[in-house]
């Protein structure tokens, strides 16, 4: 009996081992899991990460600062009336272009003309009185020498002649003043430029002391100023560039892609202590009136051109708490590289240190990339297009 139980125990253990092997094999077959022997060998190699890459290039890049630029007039003149009169004619339309000396408004001259005639008549009267006073002076002097009349009478006659001449001089000065006042009745443009709204119409009574004495405002728009505020730290660079003649401001015309530019001719004489900014002005041509006073548009201050600058697309540079970095492709592996960024210009980043021309960096696919990851690299289409257009990679 003892041997019977021992045989039954051996049989049960053998069946259990058989069914265990069958069950594990079937489970591996159903789930696709590798056998235990294979699992012990370690995880399978990770697949290559698909990325887009581009080579690091060197090219001439501008040293610039981008900000909003404000269009300002070189000269603004408010044309005011200087005499009291009534508007007779308005000879310019609202918003028209005028040249210096063009007649804008004619005022009624009848009153001033009458005053001028009165002054002319007074001068003629003074001339007649002078002639009479001279004759009296000569007669009194002769009689005084002969002792017929007193010396006082002769002196009075001489004084009367001097007074008559002084009266004539005063009336001549009055005439000059009236003639000058008459020129104020013809209001002309002091500068060339664009007129705003004409504030008067025929029949309007004007006085130089009234608030409505401003007839129109003229803005000179060619050439025109572009002002841009830059950080005070750039002051030394700006002055160096102005001395070398390379400093200029480029403005993108609002509503278009057309740029216009002009040299920097002045830097403001003080820094705004609330913002730490200093204003730089450029004079740009505007013969076609493509920009208008008061407009705000994208502008850039170009200080100089830097040859052989190391550049990569903006997408290649990533940022972490430790600073900017890129992934460089070495032997089809990703290598993290810390870089120092100098500036960003028109979609490209100028790298001050950390890269050299000819190295290959990742521009797309960073999310799945880690240090040492195997890469499946595809060239950046933009670089392919540049090369096809004749651009060289240095």
**CA dist list (Å): 60 to 258, 307, 311, 345, 390:** 22, 4, 9, 11, 16
Q: How far apart are CA 239 and CA 367, in angstroms?
A: 44
β-bridge partners, 361: 54, 328
pTM comes to: 0.65
Residues 6 or more apart whose CB falls under 8 angstroms from that of 33 comprise 27, 39
Has residue 295 got a pLDDT over 70?
yes
Q: How far apart are CA 116 and CA 110, in angstroms?
A: 10
Q: Residue 276: what pLDDT?
A: 92
Q: Residue 15: what pLDDT?
A: 46
Has residue 20 got a pLDDT over 50?
no
Q: Which helix (H) or strand (E) holds 386?
A: helix 381-388
Q: Residue 76: what pLDDT?
A: 92
At residue 130 the predicted structure's pLDDT band, cuts being 50, 70 and 90, is confident
Has residue 192 got a pLDDT over 90?
yes
Q: Which helix (H) or strand (E) holds 264?
A: strand 259-267
Has residue 190 got a pLDDT over 90?
yes
Q: Where are the domains of the chain?
A: 61-72+221-388, 109-184
Q: Residue 18: what pLDDT?
A: 45
Task: Pick 61-72+221-388's CATH classification: 3.30.360.10, 2.40.30.170, 2.40.40.20, 2.40.128.520.
Answer: 2.40.30.170
SS3 222: coil
- Residue 353 sits at φ, ψ, to 5 deg, of -160, 155
Q: Residue 14: what pLDDT?
A: 53
Has residue 42 got a pLDDT over 70?
no
Has residue 155 got a pLDDT over 80?
no
Of 19-33, 90-104, 330-344, 345-359, least confident by mean pLDDT is 19-33
Burial 161-199 (b: 16+ CB within 10 A, else e): beebeebbeebeebbeebeebbeebebebebbbbbbebe
> C-alpha angle with apex 225: 248 to 228, nearest 5 degrees?
60
């Amino acid at each position: 009996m003892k041997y019977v139980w021992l045989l039954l125990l051996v049989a049960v253990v053998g069946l259990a081992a058989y069914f265990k092997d069958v069950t594990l094999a079937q489970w591996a077959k159903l789930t696709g899991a590798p056998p235990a022997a294979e699992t012990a060998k370690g995880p399978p190699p990770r697949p290559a990460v698909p990325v887009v890459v581009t080579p690091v290039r060197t090219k001439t890049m501008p040293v610039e600062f981008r900000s909003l630029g404000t269009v300002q007039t070189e000269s603004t003149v408010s044309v005011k009336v200087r005499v009291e009169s009534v508007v007779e004619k308005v000879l310019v339309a609202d918003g028209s272009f005028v040249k210096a000396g063009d007649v804008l408004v004619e005022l009624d001259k009848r009153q001033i003309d009458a005053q001028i005639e009165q002054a002319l008549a007074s001068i003629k009267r003074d001339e007649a009185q002078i002639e009479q006073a001279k004759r009296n002076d000569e007669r009194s002097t002769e009689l005084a020498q002969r002792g017929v009349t007193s010396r006082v009478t002769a002196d009075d006659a001489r004084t009367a002649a001097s007074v008559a001449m002084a009266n004539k001089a005063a009336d001549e000065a009055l005439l000059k003043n009236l003639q000058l006042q008459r020129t104020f009745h013809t209001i002309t443009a002091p500068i060339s430029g664009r007129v705003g709204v004409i504030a008067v119409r025929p029949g309007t009574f004007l006085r130089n002391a009234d608030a409505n004495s401003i007839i129109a405002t003229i803005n000179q728009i060619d050439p025109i100023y572009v002002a841009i505020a830059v950080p005070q730290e750039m002051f030394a660079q700006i002055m160096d560039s102005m001395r070398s003649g390379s400093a200029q401001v480029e403005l993108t015309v609002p509503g278009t892609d057309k740029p216009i530019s002009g040299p920097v001719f002045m830097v403001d004489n003080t820094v705004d202590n609330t913002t730490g900014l200093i204003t730089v002005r450029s004079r740009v041509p505007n013969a076609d009136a493509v920009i208008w006073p008061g407009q705000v548009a994208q502008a850039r201050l170009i200080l100089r051109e830097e040859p052989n600058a190391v550049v990569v697309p903006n997408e290649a540079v990533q940022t972490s708490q430790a600073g900017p970095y890129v992934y460089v492709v070495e032997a089809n592996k990703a290598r993290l590289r810390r870089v120092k960024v100098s500036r960003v210009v028109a979609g490209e980043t100028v790298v001050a240190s950390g890269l050299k021309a000819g190295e290959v960096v990742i521009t797309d696919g960073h999310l799945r990339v880690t240090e040492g990851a195997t890469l499946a690299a595809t060239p950046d289409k933009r670089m392919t297009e540049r090369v096809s257009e004749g651009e060289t990679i240095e």
